[in-house]
Structure 1
Amino acid sequence: MHLRGIEHVVRIPEWHLTTAEILYRLPDHPAVLQSFIWQKVDRAPAFPELHGFLEFWRKDIEGQLHSVRVASAALWRPAEFTYAEGVLHLH
């Protein structure tokens, strides 16, 4: 049995789906920003896969990075509710 690609079948607790929106400058038009969406299973909060991809981008792709916005299922927490001790009336 081949174990390659097993992460799609077996869920590893520390690894979660991670999405990154990468904004970069076009080489021929530096005033224009382009968006690229990267998505992979990665481990938060270190994000080794994302850091590896960004290092590859810096070395091999001409578009200069502007910003990276990351969202991960590991970073989300359940909503916290607190009960109010009184009532506030406006108007």
Structure 2
Amino acid sequence: MAERDSELMLRGYGLTTAEFFYRMPDFRSVLNSFVWQAMDLAPDYPELFRFIEFWHERIEGPLHSVRFTHRRMIGPGEWRNQVGEFTV
């Protein structure tokens, strides 16, 4: 999993964190929250929108609102290949 995440980061993906506020199916006046994280590609956010579509199709609690943030963990200019070994 860590190797896959590193490869995604080198291709421009970053960590997207979203907080979903939704209404309870039986108690429409009650708001709950759900936090979701995934590696996603800005500015289109295909994974986030795929999850929102899944929510609309499969989850009974209707969405009230979604807040999200995105942070690239590493950029192509930040990656350097180091060759060498230190023995202690």
TM-score range, shorter chain: 0.7 to 0.9
**Greater share of residues in helix:** 2
Unaligned runs of 5+ in 2: 73-88
Within-5 A mapping of 1:1-91: 5=1, 6-10=3-7, 11-74=9-72
Moved more, 37-46 or 8-17: 8-17
Moved more, 10-19 or 50-59: 10-19
Unaligned runs of 5+ in 1: 75-91
Cα RMSD after superposing both structures = 1.3
Structure of larger gyration radius: 1
Secondary structure of the structure 1 residue equivalent to 2:10: coil
Q: Which runs of 4+ in 1 moved over 2 A?
A: 5-13
Secondary structure of the structure 2 residue equivalent to 1:58: helix
Q: Higher relative CO (CA 8 A, sep ≥ 6), structure 1 or 2?
A: 2
Give the fraction of aligned pairs with identical amino acids, expressed as a percent.
Answer: 47
Task: Count residues with an aligned counterpart.
Answer: 70
* Conserved 8 A contact 2:5-2:39: no
